[in-house]
Amino acid sequence: MKKLINGVESVLEESLNGFARAHSNIIQFNHQPHYVTRKNKPENKVALISGGGAGHEPLHTGLVGKGMLDAACPGQVFTSPTPDQMLMAAQEVENGAGVLFIVKNYAGDVMNFEIAAEMLDCPHETVLVNDDVSLPKNHSTGRRGVAGTLIVEKIVGAAAEAGADLAACKQLGDKVVNSTASMGVALTSCTVPALGQPTFDISDNEVEMGVGIHGERGREVMSLTTADDLVHILAKAIDEELKPTKDQRVLLHINGFGATPLMELYLVYDLAAQFFEERGIKIVRSLVGNYTTSLDMAGCSITLTLMDDEMLQYWDAPVHTAALRWGI
Amino acid sequence: MKKLINGVESVLEESLNGFARAHSNIIQFNHQPHYVTRKNKPENKVALISGGGAGHEPLHTGLVGKGMLDAACPGQVFTSPTPDQMLMAAQEVENGAGVLFIVKNYAGDVMNFEIAAEMLDCPHETVLVNDDVSLPKNHSTGRRGVAGTLIVEKIVGAAAEAGADLAACKQLGDKVVNSTASMGVALTSCTVPALGQPTFDISDNEVEMGVGIHGERGREVMSLTTADDLVHILAKAIDEELKPTKDQRVLLHINGFGATPLMELYLVYDLAAQFFEERGIKIVRSLVGNYTTSLDMAGCSITLTLMDDEMLQYWDAPVHTAALRWGI
Amino acid sequence: MTDTSFLPPLIAAIQSEIINNEAEISALDRAIGDGDHVTNLLRGLEAVAKLNDELVQLDWSAALMKIGMTLMSTMGGASGSLLGSMFVSMGKAAKEQELDLNGMTAVYSAGVESIKARGKADIGEKTMLDTLIPVMQSLQSDTEQNADKTTVLSNIKTAATQGMQSTKDMLATKGRASFLGERARGHIDAGARTSQLILCVIADELSKI
Amino acid sequence: MTDTSFLPPLIAAIQSEIINNEAEISALDRAIGDGDHVTNLLRGLEAVAKLNDELVQLDWSAALMKIGMTLMSTMGGASGSLLGSMFVSMGKAAKEQELDLNGMTAVYSAGVESIKARGKADIGEKTMLDTLIPVMQSLQSDTEQNADKTTVLSNIKTAATQGMQSTKDMLATKGRASFLGERARGHIDAGARTSQLILCVIADELSKI
Ligand SMILES: Nc1ncnc2c1ncn2[C@@H]1O[C@H](COP(=O)(O)OP(=O)(O)O)[C@@H](O)[C@H]1O
Ligand SMILES: Nc1ncnc2c1ncn2[C@@H]1O[C@H](COP(=O)(O)OP(=O)(O)O)[C@@H](O)[C@H]1O
Ligand SMILES: [Mg+2]
Ligand SMILES: [Mg+2]
Ligand SMILES: [Mg+2]
Ligand SMILES: [Mg+2]
């Protein structure tokens, strides 16, 4: 394992320290337990809290700030955070308008957030993100939450900033989830520091199709083929799920898993955009880059969100976080 | 070689197409020859043009836009662009205030830009970036230009946007270059699509210390050691070059080479910030992420710029490009 | 019943058993999960081990509760919330129970039920429950039949081991392995394995008392 | 002199020689450069080969100029600007020269001088000039001595080959290899190798005319 670290025990703490130092103008880092909160949160704004295992950076810590999250709770690498993190973060950022938890649908995340929510004595709601269409809708655990989470956090974050109440934020979050579909393909495994070796083996002429974001294997192994073929598989699954009609406005997000160069991500963007434009769909917003990563995994996912006026307005609203910033 | 591409012949064109499509609100892509220009350039503003081999994305195409570059000329992967690209880009964006070329000091870049400049019949200047302190100052070709280039482009870009004339832009560019030092370490090679294999071999317990950004080997091979040790070597070389005095304000930039996760880059930031703060230096701005990449190389570089009021003001000025955006 | 002095050596025995099998457990979770299960468990056990001085001061209800809260706030992951819930629920149930076979069965069953509720899962889904539930059934029937200690403990080990092994050929319908469909078959579930290791150590340690 | 009909077969011969040695050249530039030299050169040659119909219509001055502009705008990299400059300068020099030994020497020398000027480099710096300059010297002395064609061509090949080989033990002071310091020793420079291959093909082709 080759990593720029001092030891597997200290990597998370040191990395969070660096993050806190680099962005001390907008966030604050609590050490015991770990959570990151936004500085200068306005009074009486619904508090948006997300979290999940570390290793997906910039998700979620990099999305804390004006117009997005009020707090993020990073767990150990690929390990859901614990209820006390969420509870303490919630108690710190809640200030009169209640708490909205944004949770990716993974057993660990769901259960730990659930426990926190049960212990929280202020109004709260949860938006469960389950945008990964590599699994059927009726999968026994439901579908996983992947790169679409950022889009939920941006749009609901803008609504909360604009004064939407808890019920409205919850409703909007559910709407974004229902309008969003994602699917990813991995070219390599990633290496979790504590494991010291790649999570799975994969040969030079194979890809894992339909992967989550924790270095798990995908739905199936496929032969390595052209970007055209791979993008077609991903885009088709998304298209069949969302069934966008002609002239539907969409946001197209190409998300890198961490080790795939921007050169390839833009190439994937081009192919995916062609796929949807050929169907008469209007790509009105786009986001290309490494946002929901799996450490040093090579590969990418495609996310599509069906947009309406309200969602567009909130997507365009000012945001100032470590990873997403515009209008400020 | 595992890449999300359709073929080594088409990767660059397809990737640029995707880039152009994703950012059509701010840039325009010219196919024959390749160059990217800013949309809505104001009249009578010095035209800033940079370029270099592809494979460093987001540099330079991702830095075209309001407050930064007016044009970028991407060559083939790691291959300097050709004079006709720069010439035609210059002719397109020049509108009365002359052209400033920002060139990384590599034989190919320097000579191709030189030829273009000789053919250009409008006032023009060149700022040569040579921030890589892994080589001695009196190196036979001069030092390489690496991640400090972005800082030059941001600060001079803001000055040009504010109406600085050609001479002032040139002078400011030289000042930023003289105030900037960088050095990098690679944990892996990268794989150039056309080569189909890693440019160099490196064992699991070695790093290349003092690398450029084209997948060349570094100054020397070293044993893989802790991030503490590696950061110390990089930071010390920079410190000895710039000799910042106590209370000096600086910008600290940790640049990923493409395959190193943000988790590690922030950890490096933490260690580098500690190094400089222990010396009484004031880190007033920071930038952490993959900006000057070497395709899928793992590793990072540290860049430090000594800042004064003028540079700070220009660093903070609004910018709207694909890769850097704030204030707009 | 307030003698919780058997806890520190028991916790130590569990720790060393998990450490001895670390590579195997890690490989199991890598094969059909994300590889962190053994790290999560060891982090939790280490935190619990640090409580030893405190635990021996507590009655078993409070000790179980404390262990549960500690696992919950240190492990993370699916297993952290589940084992945390299990011990907290056991602690609650222990308030009204003696530390005899009857009481232990009731307490353990309360713990298993809380995992079933929290995880919305049952036997046959390729999770730790495939170890935990057969042990609960074995305890319940041994209690009914008033079995002797040796029998009870030996039945625990058999049920745990058979349950753990039963996960090998299952399709997973809960946890990360469920994402793999048919590809999950042929691999033992990591949580089922650690539960079995822990239950066997407990049985062995109890046999010494 | 306007007969440039020997150019298309010559260009084809150069292309196939470079393709035959592609793996070796690529490995040379990977070892102490960035690995793209052979790709750059082949891209340039392919563009030149596409000009064949046009080139045979031109006199040699114009043909050389056209080749230079084409290399310059298609190759990129250090070698693109250098070879481009060389051919453009040769084209300019050819205007005043006959296509005889004397003229060819003058034209070639003008080309080499333009590389020296553009690259701010000279012999002994581990670049293509270590092939190009010895050939220039050989041509110049053969011209003075009025050597016969066979001798001239054979001397070109010897000078090119020795020059290329001389780069192996050099420290590099120009180009990317200069960044490697002592680590560049023991590797032949890629540009010196391609220059030698090209000059040897030219000598062989000229011997057939
Ligand atoms: N819904 C569930 N019910 C019961 N046990 C579960 C459930 N989901 C997961 N598990 C158990 O948790 C184990 C995984 O734990 P761990 O690896 O620590 O967490 P994570 O899956 O979050 O990485 C699985 O092997 C399985 O035994
Ligand atoms: N300053 C220079 N003068 C002469 N030749 C040079 C100079 N710099 C580089 N070269 C030649 O160019 C070759 C490299 O060409 P190429 O790989 O195409 O470009 P790049 O170095 O930009 O990747 C080197 O092998 C060397 O022979
Ligand atoms: Mg996990
Ligand atoms: Mg090159
Ligand atoms: Mg796990
Ligand atoms: Mg090269």
A4 to B230: CB separation less than 8 angstroms, yes or no: yes
Cα–Cα dist C12/A314, whole Å: 54
Q: Helices D149-166 and D129-144 meet at what angle, rounded to 10?
A: 150
Nearest atom within ligand 1 for CA of residue A53: 22
Question: Residue D179: which of B53, B79, B212 has the nearest Cβ?
Answer: B212
Mean pLDDT across B153-174: 98
How confident is the model at residue A57, as a pLDDT?
Answer: 98
D73 to B84: CB separation less than 8 angstroms, yes or no: yes
Q: List C-alpha distances in Å: B250 to B98, B179, B291, C34, C39.
A: 30, 9, 19, 41, 40
Structure tokens at D39: 């790709």
Q: Chain C residues with CB inside 8 Å of A139's CB?
A: 178-179
How confident is the model at residue D1, as a pLDDT?
Answer: 46
Q: Is the peptide bond before A60 cis (omega within 30 degrees of 0)?
A: yes
What is the 3 state secondary structure string of D73-127?
HHCCHHHHHHHHHHHHHHHHHHCCCCCCHHHHHHHHHHHHHHHHHHHCCCCCCCC
CB pairs under 8 A between B and D: 115
- On the question of pLDDT at A271 being above 60, the answer is yes
Burial class from Cβ neighbours inside 10 Å (0-12, 13-18, 19+) for residue D141 reads: middle
Question: Residue B227: which of A6, A77, A271 has the nearest Cβ?
Answer: A6
Mean pLDDT across C1-23: 91
Cα–Cα dist A265/A187, whole Å: 13
| D32 neighbors D176 (Cβ within 8 angstroms) | yes
Task: Please name which of B61, B66, B4, B63 lies closest in space to residue B34, comparing C-alpha atoms.
Answer: B61
* DSSP structure class, residue B36: E
B interface with D, Cβ–Cβ < 8 A, is 33, 53, 75-84, 106-108, 111-112, 114-115, 134-135, 139-141, 144, 192, 194-195, 199-200, 212, 214-217, 219-220
Q: Classify domain C7-208 at the CATH topology level.
A: 1.25.40
Rounded to the nearest integer, the mean pLDDT of chain D is 96
How confident is the model at residue C143, as a pLDDT?
Answer: 97
Q: Under 8 Å CB-to-CB from C44, ≥6 apart: which residues?
A: C70, C71, C74, C75, C80, C83
| A117 neighbors A101 (Cβ within 8 angstroms) | yes
Cα–Cα dist A88/A82, whole Å: 11
* CA C63 from centroid of its chain's CA atoms: 16
Ligand 1 contacts CB of residue A108 (under 6 A): yes
A303 pairs with which residues across the strands? A182, A253
Residue B2 phi/psi, 5-degree rounding, is: -115, 110
C76 to A80: CB separation less than 8 angstroms, yes or no: yes
Instruction: Please identify every residue of B annotated as catalytic.
Output: 56, 214
A192 to C81: CB separation less than 8 angstroms, yes or no: no
pLDDT in tens, A50-94: 999 999 999 999 999 999 999 999 999 999 999 999 999 999 999
Q: Is A71 helix (H, G, I), strand (E, B) or coil?
A: strand
Q: How many CB atoms lie within 10 A of CB B96?
A: 11
Q: Under 8 Å CB-to-CB from B212, ≥6 apart: which residues?
A: B106, B132, B144, B146, B184, B218, D176, D179
Q: Chain C residues with CB inside 8 Å of A106's CB?
A: 78, 176
pLDDT in tens, A273-289: 999 999 999 999 999 99
How confident is the model at residue A320, as a pLDDT?
Answer: 98
Task: Please name which of D185, D85, D181 lies closest in space to residue D129, comparing C-alpha atoms.
Answer: D85
pLDDT in tens, D38-49: 999 999 999 999
- On the question of pLDDT at B129 being above 90, the answer is yes
| A268 neighbors A254 (Cβ within 8 angstroms) | yes
| C135 neighbors C111 (Cβ within 8 angstroms) | no
pLDDT in tens, B232-250: 999 999 999 999 999 999 9
How confident is the model at residue C3, as a pLDDT?
Answer: 77
- On the question of pLDDT at A238 being above 60, the answer is yes
Cα–Cα dist B241/D135, whole Å: 43
Cα–Cα dist B220/C49, whole Å: 46
The ipTM is 0.96
Q: Chain D residues with CB inside 8 Å of B77's CB?
A: 36
- On the question of pLDDT at C76 being above 50, the answer is yes
Q: Which residues of D57-91 are buried (b: 16+ CB within 10 A; e: fewer)?
A: ebbbbbbbbbbbbbbbbbbbbbbbbbbbbbbbbbb
Question: Residue B79: which of D77, D125, D180 has the nearest Cβ?
Answer: D77
B81 to D76: CB separation less than 8 angstroms, yes or no: yes
How confident is the model at residue C99, as a pLDDT?
Answer: 86
Mean pLDDT across B33-38: 98
**Any alpha helices (H) in C21-76, and if so which ranges?**
22-32, 37-49, 52-55, 60-74
State which residues have CB under 5 angstroms from ligand 3, the bound ion: A 78-79; C 34, 36, 77
Nearest atom within ligand 1 for CA of residue A214: 23
How confident is the model at residue B216, as a pLDDT?
Answer: 86
Residue with tokens 């032969």: A223
The pairing of strands B124-129 and B99-104 is parallel
- Read off the pLDDT band of D99 (50, 70, 90): confident
Domains and CATH numbers, chain A: 11-178+315-322 (3.40.50.10440), 180-306 (3.30.1180.20)
Question: Residue B144: which of D75, D179, D180 has the nearest Cβ?
Answer: D179
How confident is the model at residue C1, as a pLDDT?
Answer: 46
Nearest atom within ligand 2 for CA of residue D41: 18
pLDDT in tens, A99-148: 999 999 999 999 999 999 999 999 999 999 999 999 999 999 999 999 99
How confident is the model at residue D24, as a pLDDT?
Answer: 98
B254 pairs with which residues across the strands? B288, B302
* Ligand 5 centroid, distance to D54 Cα (angstroms): 67
CB pairs under 8 A between A and B: 178
Residue A214 falls in the annotated catalytic set: yes
Task: Please name which of B111, B4, B94, B110 lies closest in space to residue B46, comparing C-alpha atoms.
Answer: B94
Residue A23 falls in the annotated catalytic set: no
Is B302 at the interface with chain A, CB within 8 A?
A: no
Mean pLDDT across C79-89: 98
Mean pLDDT across B209-238: 96
Residue B231 carries which side chain, given as an amino acid letter?
Answer: V
B198 pairs with which residues across the strands? B191
Q: Chain C residues with CB inside 8 Å of A83's CB?
A: 72-73, 81, 84
